Each structure stands twice: as structure tokens, then as C-alpha cells.
Amino acid sequence: MLFDALILSGGRSSRLGGHPKSELVFEGATLLQRTLDAVQDARQIVLVGEPGGAELSPTTVVTRETPAFDGPAAAIAAGLEAATGRPAEWIVVLACDMPFAARAVPVLLANAAGDGVLAVDDSGRRQYLLACYRRGALLKARARSVGGMSVRTLISGLSTSDVPIPTGSSIDIDTWADAALLDIAFPQIPHEQIRHETGVNHD
């Protein structure tokens, strides 16, 4: 199935003390690199945010919402504007802080229908940034986008359906405690320091 991908990596990471989530390292690769790899078969990838040291394919476009940190809906709007060439009908939208997103992407693509499909975890929680949207529907939603709008509000008028995904696919990293549970670290911060500060111990 032909698809494009839009990756959001420009948040403030305030609960990580400003350390970019995209640069956290899990199993030898940054979270951003793992996210890029999850959609490596995309016709084009649009990265909204800073690429850091990630390896970008020749078809990857880098952009930023204006003003910066204006929220995920604004980032999606910026990503739609930045797409080049003949866009694919479907676009996978991913936040960069889900180390296991690659497990969910094939499921989303296989079930793409209507205006889009949203990943749903075991608890029934919808994941608006682990989803596959019809581009035309997102473009219509973008027309009413305002600064600071949530993605949930942005797509509220769309006809979407929920798709159950493999267990653990939507685990995201918001805090150092989240990172410590998976033995994830920031390059300049030792694992031991994170475990000490969060109280997480794998022993």
C-alpha cells in the first residue's frame, strides 16, 4: 500500500527537563531513528521538528510548525504543507516517543478505511498520534486548525474507526520513570543516574 508518513518530534519534553525525547536511546538507536525505521517503506516522510543525528532517507523532508511548540495539530498542519511531489492518499502520523510503533504500523495500513484509523491499546485508549489518516480528510480538518489545538479536537469531525494493535505497541516515553522502565537513557545521562532519580530498579 502506498503511503506517506508524518513524524512529530518538536515537543518541549518538559517532563524530561527539556531533554529531547527524540534523542533518547533504546537498544542502540534513538527513539526518532526507531520511528523513522517504522515507516521506512513510506513514499515520503515529513519530519516536523529537529532531526538531531538521525539518518534521513533522501525522500525525507524536514520542517517546523510556526511558531515552534504550537502544539501537535499545528505540527500536523505544517507537515501537510511541506509534502512534495504527488502525495499518497494515506498518511501515517506518529509521535517520536513510541519505541515499539513499528509493530502497529502494518496493522493500521492493513485496516485503513473511511477518514482514518486510530490505534487503540489494551485499555481502550485511542492514540491520535499512532494513526493512519486519509490525506484529503486531514487537509479539510487543517482548514480549521488553530494554535494550541489538540489532535483530538482537530480530527473530531472526521469519520475514523478504532483498530486494536499488538500489546505494548503504543508505549510512550513521557517521563524519566517511563524511560527507566525500559532502560532507556539520554546519551549524556548515565542509566544509573536515571534509575537513582526515579527509584526504578531492574534488579
- pLDDT value at 203 more than 60: no
Residue 111: partners with Cβ closer than 8 Å, 6 or more residues away: 117, 132, 161, 163
Cell (9 digits) for 179 = 524511560
CA distances, 50 to each of 12, 63, 81, 185 (Å): 11, 8, 17, 19
What pLDDT is attached to residue 188? 61
C-beta separation of 54 from 25 below 8 A: no
**pLDDT tens-digit series, residues 143-173:** 877 777 899 999 999 999 999 999 999 999 9
Under the banding of pLDDT at 50, 70 and 90, the label for residue 20 is confident
88 or 192, higher pLDDT: 88
CA distance 92 to 179: 25
When pLDDT is cut at 50, 70 and 90, the band that residue 21 belongs to is confident
The H-assigned helical ranges of the chain are: 31-38, 72-82, 105-110, 135-142, 151-154, 176-181, 191-198
Confidence of residue 14 (pLDDT cuts 50, 70, 90): low
C-alpha cell at 195: 534509575
The sign of the torsion formed by the CA atoms of 16, 20, 21, 24 equals: negative
Q: What is the pLDDT of residue 71?
A: 87
Q: What is the pLDDT of residue 29?
A: 94
d(CA 188, CA 128): 31
Per the structure block, which three cell numbers stand in for 83? 509534502
Local confidence band at 125 (pLDDT 50, 70, 90 cut-offs): very high
The residue written with cell numbers 543516574 in the block is: 193
pTM (predicted TM-score): 0.88
pLDDT average, residue stretch 122-148: 91
Residue 185: what pLDDT?
77
Looking at residue 4, its pLDDT comes to: 98
Show Cβ contacts of residue 58 under 8 Å, excluding neighbours closer than 6 positions. none
Q: Which domains does the chain have, with CATH numbers?
A: 3-198 (3.90.550.10)
> What percent of the chain is modeled with pLDDT above 90?
67
Grid cell 549524556 — which residue?
A: 188
Q: What is the average pLDDT across 112-129?
A: 97
Sign (positive or negative) of CA dihedral 60, 99, 132, 94? negative
**pLDDT for the residue numbered 70:** 83
